[in-house]
Structure 1
Amino acid sequence: MFTSNGVKYYLLLIFIYFSIHNAHSRITDQYAFTAEPSEQQQDCSSVIGEDRQRECYCKKRPFLCDDRESRFSSYKPNYAIGQSTDGDDGSFEVRYSLRYNFLRPHCMPIKKPKNKNDYIPELDCLRAYEERIGDIFFTFTGEFDFFLGTRDSSPVINRLSNPAFNFRKHFEKALSYESHTIEWVNLSIEHRSNGQSTNADEMITEPESSDFGRFRAQVELEAGNQEYFDSISRSANYIAVESKINFGTGHSDNVLCDTTFKCVNAWVSAKLYLSDESDVFWGDLSDKGVNIEDYDRIKIIVSDTFNTNISSFPTSEIGLEWTIGDELLDTDSFDFYIVLPWVPNNNFRLPLYLRAHYGPMSTLSDYTKDQNSVGIGLVFK
């Protein structure tokens, strides 16, 4: 059930959501049907002449014609927020997420020709982009909490280390239907851990202790020692399948979809666990065979990014993440976020970020514990 703090968090988020929605209710379809998006939808292969064809492809996907496009890029949103969590100390939470492409991220020649006029995008590469087999890349996502001034010595607690090898197949318009478009499907093999070293089944072995023979975690729970649970080791290895699906006006064009309120992005993923270290030896679930699969099997993310008619806040993004385990609604959890970049002039951009969590899966170490949290800070994509 919602705690009083949880209710306050979510009422605040709902209020902010509808405030933004009402402020932007006059968003017009001009964002969805300007000349530029029509170029995004144009079939460049039908353009006559190689130079004009090359120009068409470069307008459609500028990153393919820019040799500055790096093999390194961000993967999931990177953020830094000040966070308040029920039953825990306030912290400064940071997530960093990087991607390295093994395949060339653009169509410029790798070796520069002697004549600079010949340094132009390779037309065969541009033509083949939509029919390419797929992308192969490595990702790493990490999270940590910095308890600045709220705990003795202001420790930094690692929460997540998640390396993964990925293969992603883009479908472009091949899987476009009347109501939705499947943009891509991603297959990955991943490791996820929290970098801690205390075994969850550690026993008290001192004969003189009145708690001799009991699980240490249970003793620490009874003592109210939240910090102990931050040190419990968790890890898992799994195969994940994920797909991005666009719904609504302009769903067949991902660039167009990211500019209109009427088009929504959805990511759906599922995990097949190969191994895990997630047993619980404290509380009501002690030694009951509970594992991480009961809380984290499927994740559904729904996000809406759109242009606005407010000059200082030209774009907004609102998203909801729903994590479901094998126990379905008994163990599910939610994350809600708002991205509201403040752009007072052409030289400055402050990407404001509000994020809230409700339910279990707040941390890997104590993933079964229901915890509500809310944080505000900056997001970097």
Structure 2
Amino acid sequence: MTLYPASIGCVIITLVAISTGYAAESDQAFLTCPTFSDDQVRLACYDSYAPREESMQPLLGNGVDGLTMHEPNKLLARLDSQDERVHYMDATLSVKYPVLNPVVDAISSVINIDRVRNTPRLYLAFTTRFSQYVATRQSSPVVARRYNPELFLRVWRDGVYDRTNPSYWDFGYGHESNGQRISDPQGYRLAADAADLRGDPEITARESISRGWDYLSIDWVKEWNTPFLANLAGRTETQFEYRHYLDHGLFQGDPEEYNVWEGDGAESRPRANYSGLQFALAYTLQDEPCSDWVCFERVELEHTTGYARPFDNNSTSLEVTTQLAGIPLYFWARTGYNSDLVDYYKYTNSWGIGMEFLR
């Protein structure tokens, strides 16, 4: 992402203004407060000049402004039944950043949106996933799995600040691909021959087959502050997402999906048969289920199916996040499709253990 000089200048001016304001308040405190002889009054005076934490912080959606997490960031050891049945290191990195804030604010004012309760933001997001076969393949190669830039408008409902049962809507346009380049049988045969010469399995050639789609998306997320489990205090979060894969996109052009020369039959396998509808239910626990070393933090159940053939091809995952001596330990299991964009149409069982970063 490129930051233009004007944007950098605005950031610098804002930081200077904030720091100058804090310095001015500090000077005023040391001029005024020592004049009070009573200890309690003097301490209260100093407290009145202390920098205050902003009380109106967003509770849902990982922040309004600044660089923040988009999808959870993960690093784990993973195993897939469709792979070579060897473990590998798998990483997901995902961030978002608000763009064109003055334009969005101006439009919000014109159409009379209550910006205190329903602050809209236009986000540019990027998610990438890659894997490394450490000590299980020659030279421990890194394999690109997913590149997912996205532009989306987020509108909060039920208020952004100090609210009960908050929610938001996302309306987006995105591109999802695996960043690979093989798109014909000749290229695949050359890659397979090269893998054979290296002593690698043929699956390493298959990983280089190109996949890609453009899509439109609608995403609804709601946080329920009332406990889902009566005996465990916490917050319930529900999510529903619809992705519509385009026949011809602005960035992708025609989708790159299954090819007959891959050898899995003559039937076409559009992505819409396997994904596009997703429902997730997450429960974030509070401090009660903790010992000296372990805190159970979050449990999430996710179900995905295709919108072209709902519930014909289903995928389900279960995730558990804990804090073990301050380390965000993550356990994950998945059964179904879309374990990898290359094998989006193949039924796969996957497992993983590692770290998940939710902030």
Deviations 1:287-306 (A, max 9, x none): 31211111111111111001
| Larger RCO (alpha carbons 8 Å, 6+ apart) | 1
Name the residue aligned to 1:93: 90
Name the residue aligned to 1:183: 167
> Does the alignment pair 1:228 with 2:205?
yes
Shift of residue 336 of structure 1? 1.4
- Which whole-Å CA distance do the structure 1 matches of 2:310 and 2:64 have between them? 42
Name the residue aligned to 1:102: 99
Q: Residues 71 and 102 of structure 1 are in contact (CA less than 8 Å); yes or no, is this contact kept in structure 2?
A: no
Change beyond 3 A, Cα 1:250–1:355: closer
Shift of residue 132 of structure 1? 4.2
Name the residue aligned to 2:24: none
> Does the alignment pair 1:301 with 2:280?
yes
Change beyond 3 A, Cα 1:309–1:293: closer
Instruction: Name the Cα RMSD after superposition.
Output: 3.7
Deviations 1:346-369 (A, max 9, x none): xxx211011112112110012111
* SS of equivalent to 2:205: helix
> Does the alignment pair 1:333 with 2:306?
no
Name the residue aligned to 2:338: 361
> For 1:1-381, what aligned pairs fall within 5 Å after superposition?
58-61=54-57, 71-88=66-83, 89-102=86-99, 129-172=115-158, 181=165, 183-199=167-183, 201-203=184-186, 225-247=202-224, 249=226, 261=233, 263-274=235-246, 275=248, 276-281=255-260, 285-307=264-286, 308-311=288-291, 312-325=293-306, 326-343=308-325, 349-381=326-358
* SS of equivalent to 2:294: coil
- Which whole-Å CA distance do the structure 1 matches of 2:220 and 2:58 have between them? 24
Task: Give the 4+ runs in structure 1 shifted more than 4 A.
Answer: 203-206, 282-285
Letter in 2 for 1:136: L
Change beyond 3 A, Cα 1:362–1:277: same
Letter in 2 for 1:310: C
Q: Residues 118 and 158 of structure 2 are in contact (CA less than 8 Å); yes or no, is this contact kept in structure 1?
A: no
| Count of aligned pairs between the two proteins | 274
Shift of residue 224 of structure 1? 7.3
TM-score of the aligned structures, taking structure 1 as reference length: 0.63
Q: Residues 182 and 243 of structure 1 are in contact (CA less than 8 Å); yes or no, is this contact kept in structure 2?
A: no
TM-score of the aligned structures, taking structure 2 as reference length: 0.67
Structure 2 unaligned blocks of 5 or more: 1-47, 103-113, 249-254
Q: Residues 101 and 122 of structure 2 are in contact (CA less than 8 Å); yes or no, is this contact kept in structure 1?
A: no
Shift of residue 248 of structure 1? 6.5
Name the residue aligned to 1:44: none
